[in-house]
Chain A
Amino acid sequence: MDRSTTTLLFIPGNSPGMLKNAPVFGADCLILDLEDSVTPAEKDAARILVRHALPWLKTQGTEVAVRINPFSEAFLGYEDMEEIALSPPDVIMLPKATKEEVQILSGLLDEIEKKKGLAETGIKIIPLVETAAAVVNMREIAGSSGRVAGLLLGAEDLTADLGVKRTRRGLEILYARSKMAMVCKAAGIAAIDTPFADIRDEAGLHYDAHTARALGMTGKAAIHPGQINVIRKAFTPDEEEIAYAARIISAMEEAEKESRGVLALDGRMLDAPAVAWAKQTLEKAKRATTW
């Protein structure tokens, strides 16, 4: 889990059919959900099923995360951790995250890794930013443990907390997205955008994903397999970007050959940030084609 992870797919943890088919959908990371997609009466069944499915899923070539229940809700989060400690995933996603709860979770993971002889801090944490308080405290949450590999924005819960409507245009989450992009870039961790809830609206998803990328988010969660390709394309440089990036690198190499300190392309002067953008663009494009 890092800034190159662009597609993350939520899978209901109590659905054997979805778990079985999950690896073929091509997401960079599968999120096995024990929270919102599981009814209260089936929480026990879901965590036991996820625990049994994890060893098989981890052999299928994709990263596996588990979204547990919040620690604040009737100890459900603790029961989830007790169960999946027997078969740990790569990442734990912590909903309604606070700095203190991330640290509690990190402590639980220390014990699990020690008991099972796993690499220290190998299991990562993705806190979900879903409340106004979490948006305000984003930097502290991101820095609360060395295990934090990214932040995931939960817009549905956030807008409910704010008492505003979640819209297609997304103005209501502009600040949260922008802040997350900055905080995560500064911390060197992934900035994962909120899922797009309308699975029938492909144009809306396209706009939402491109907006997130333009603001500096590094990936986006999906709630349906059909959303993965749209998200992947949005977070992958297109042909025009790749061609321009390649031209910048060529111009840079030519300038170096001629010992010229000044770099120009199409009549425009280019400086170090432009070259850095070009290198990052080509690297992202290369990673996308090796998938």
Chain B
Amino acid sequence: MASVTEGFAPIALEGGQKARGNLTKARIRWVIAALLVVFGIVGGRLVQLGTVVQDSTIEGQARDVITASRPPILDRNGLEMAVDIRVPSLFAEPRRIIDVDEAIEAIRTVLPDLSVDFLRQRLSGDRGFVWLKRELTPAVQDKIMGLGIPGLDFLTESKRFYPGGREVSHVMGAVNIDNQGIAGIERHMDTSQDIALLQSLGLARDAALAPVSLSLDMRVQHVMYEQLKDTLTRYKAIAAAGVIVDVHTGEVLALASLPDFDPNDPASALEKDSFNRITSGIFELGSTFKTVTFAAALDSGKVRMSDSFDARFGIRFGRFTIDDFHGKHRVLSVPEIYKYSSNIGTIKIMQELGKDEFRDFLTKLGFDKRVPFELPEMRNPSVPAKFSEIVAATASFGHGLSVSPLHMAVAVSAFVNGGNYVPPTLYHRDQAEAESLYSRVISPQTSASIRYLMRLNALEGSGTRMNAMADGYRVGGKTGTAEKVVNGRYANGKNLNVFASAFPLDDPKYAMVILVDEPQAENERSGTTAGWNAGEVTGRIVQRIAPMLGIRPEFGEMIEQAMIPAQLR
């Protein structure tokens, strides 16, 4: 440096310094540029990585939806009625499969039911994901793993399992292969409890879902199911159904309908006649409807328990004459009309009340629309909007209008619980919550009279066979034997038998409706009317379930006497 500065003039020195300065500046610029390029590349790569969308869908569905689970369903005692089990599902990545033919051959050694054509169509091509077979067993999984074929793998899916099987089929409903509810309470949970929403967001994971507790009691449900199955063989009936409702809270304790299906095999739900007769079947419920007529008339005050009606002659409407099945043909008191199930007497009672008042009462009981209930399988009842004289007359003993057995169960609950209508439910409901839903349909005094009439019918009327079986449990009810309409005519010998009951009638807790379709006589000496089949089934069920439900048998005149209303003492 020194030699350079000595030999040259200051200007030259300045020039040299300047030149070096310029060179440094240029170098710095180059370095900056290089750095910018490098950082640009790094930044660009980052942006590129950030915008890559990972395809996590499986054949158009989000992986989370497929692996989504559902909350377990418990009965009121905590017994599991529906649980999720983890099962492996086999999928393939065709683009990773080397030899398709070899793979097909190997797979078919373990899963012979998959056809060669199906496998070839699935495994060839360049797709990233195809299902081969879903919901396998761990044993099959191990075998396929043992084959060592590249491009095959398993995904753990949740599969719905119903330990109760057929016993709870109509309540549970079914789910599809993607674990979405398609029927029964499963469908209801998806729509009302937002399980479907959770599943679609991928939040429906094992522990995240609290168990859903139903009002059903598996023990009671089992007894009901067993007895209904017995009905099909004992009376050679084509169908049978039953429902038990807590009269104070509206909780459904048991609900069964035969023929049924296996919820573990949803395809069986498509079988003929396996619909839920309790909610989605509407029937002419026959004489059980007389309870409704009596409740309406007694509550209006126009008919009193101490009244009598002339039932000597049939009632004529044009060319039709309505007569009694078990005709007494004399003047009958109100309890006698109920006891002997007199059509004439019931029509007279309804006429005393007035047909429009009778129609209004049906509206009050909710017979115009579907029962507000969780199960989606429902059908609109068929009740004429306006009653003519003859329609009102036939309606008073349960013909010419169709409602579901659940309608009747709810109506009976209201009649015996002190007169409060409470909508039924399949979920837990306590007394306080139920009371907020109460709407009064009849007075407590009328309710007491109806309880007496139902008990009287069990002691002296058509319910004696039932009462003999459930002796001590103070069951009472009304039979209904309705001739079925076949091709627009009432078919002789084809009956739909119903028994609508409640127990224990001194302090009612449960209402039950049993329906037996086209029963035949058990033996030569037995009959085919409702008391012989629907009534007997009710008796057997009560005999079994009353101890489970904590109802003590009581015997003695005292209890029966206490039920007689003051007007009749």
- Do A and B bind? no
Which residue numbers of A lie inside 8 Å of B, CB to CB? none
Which residue numbers of B lie inside 8 Å of A, CB to CB? none
